[in-house]
Structure 1
Amino acid sequence: MPLLQVSDLQVEFKTNDATVRAVNGVNFTLEAGETLGIVGESGSGKSQSVLAMLGLLASNGRASGQALYRGENLLGLSGKALNRIRGNRLSMIFQDPMSSLNPYLSIERQMTEVLELHKNMTRRAAKKRAIGMLEAVRIPEAAHRIGQYPHELSGGMRQRVMIAMALLCEPEVLFADEPTTALDVTVQAQVLQLLRDLQRDFGTSIVLITHDLGVVAGLCEKVMVMYGGRVMEQCDASSLFAKPSHPYTIGLLRALPRLDKSGGELTGIPGNPPNMAHPPAGCPFHERCAHAAEDCVQHVPALRPVDGVHWLRACHRPAEDMITRYQEASHV
Structure 2
Amino acid sequence: MSLLKVSDLEVAFQTPDATVRAVNGVNFELEEGSTLGIVGESGSGKSQSVLAMLGLLARNGRASGSALYQGKNLLTMPAKALNRIRGNRLSMIFQDPMTSLNPYLTIERQMTEVLELHKNMTRRAAKQRAIGMLEAVRIPEAAHRIDQYPHELSGGMRQRVMIAMALLCEPQVLFADEPTTALDVTVQAQILQLLRNLQHDFGTAIVLITHDLGVVAGLCEKVMVMYGGRVMEHCSADNLFARPSHPYTIGLLRALPRLDQNGAALQGIPGNPPNMAHPPSGCPFQERCIDADARCGERAPALEPWRNDATWLRACYRPVERMKSLHEEPSHV
TM-score past 0.5 threshold: yes
Deviation for aligned residue 1:102? 1.2
Output the amino acid matched with 1:309.
A
**Does the Cα contact within 8 Å between 2:106 and 2:147 map onto a contact in 1?**
yes
Q: Which residue of 2 aligns with 1:131?
A: 131
Give, in whole Å, the separation in 2 of the partners of 1:183 and 1:330.
28
Give SS of 2:260's match. Answer: coil
Give SS of 1:169's match. Answer: coil
Judging changes above 3 Å, is the alpha-carbon distance between structure 1 residues 330 and 22 closer, same or farther for their aligned structure 2 residues? closer
Q: Which residue of 2 aligns with 1:101?
A: 101
Q: Which residue of 1 aligns with 2:169?
A: 169
User: How many residue pairs are counted as aligned between the two chains?
Assistant: 330
Give SS of 1:263's match. Answer: coil
Q: Which residue of 2 aligns with 1:310?
A: 311
Q: TM-score, normalised by structure 2?
A: 0.96
Deviation for aligned residue 1:320? 4.9
Deviation for aligned residue 1:141? 2.3
Output the amino acid matched with 2:253.
L
1:216 lines up with 2:255 in the alignment: no
Output the amino acid matched with 1:96.
D
Give, in whole Å, the separation in 2 of the partners of 1:328 and 1:101.
46
Deviation for aligned residue 1:97? 1.2
Q: Which residue of 2 aligns with 1:238?
A: 238
Segments of structure 1 that go 5 or more residues without pairing to the other structure are: none
Q: TM-score, normalised by structure 1?
A: 0.96
Deviation for aligned residue 1:182? 3.4
Q: Which residue of 2 aligns with 1:34?
A: 34
Matches within 5 A, 1:41-60: 41-60=41-60
**Does the Cα contact within 8 Å between 1:245 and 1:320 map onto a contact in 2?**
no
Matches within 5 A, 1:270-281: 270-281=270-281
1:296 lines up with 2:296 in the alignment: yes
Output the amino acid matched with 1:205.
A
**Does the Cα contact within 8 Å between 2:156 and 2:182 map onto a contact in 1?**
no
Deviation for aligned residue 1:137? 2.0
Give, in whole Å, the separation in 2 of the partners of 1:165 and 1:319.
46
Judging changes above 3 Å, is the alpha-carbon distance between structure 1 residues 161 and 296 closer, same or farther for their aligned structure 2 residues? same
Output the amino acid matched with 1:217.
A
Give SS of 2:325's match. Answer: helix
Judging changes above 3 Å, is the alpha-carbon distance between structure 1 residues 255 and 289 closer, same or farther for their aligned structure 2 residues? same
Give, in whole Å, the separation in 1 of the partners of 2:154 and 2:163.
14
Deviation for aligned residue 1:327? 3.1
Output the amino acid matched with 2:228.
G
Bigger CA drift: 81-90 or 302-311? 302-311
Q: Which residue of 2 aligns with 1:147?
A: 147
The percentage of counterpart residues that share the same residue type is 81
Matches within 5 A, 1:12-91: 12-91=12-91
Bigger CA drift: 262-271 or 283-292? 262-271
Give SS of 1:329's match. Answer: coil
Give, in whole Å, the separation in 2 of the partners of 1:96 and 1:183.
12
Segments of structure 2 that go 5 or more residues without pairing to the other structure are: none
Judging changes above 3 Å, is the alpha-carbon distance between structure 1 residues 123 and 312 closer, same or farther for their aligned structure 2 residues? same
Give, in whole Å, the separation in 1 of the partners of 2:95 and 2:149.
19
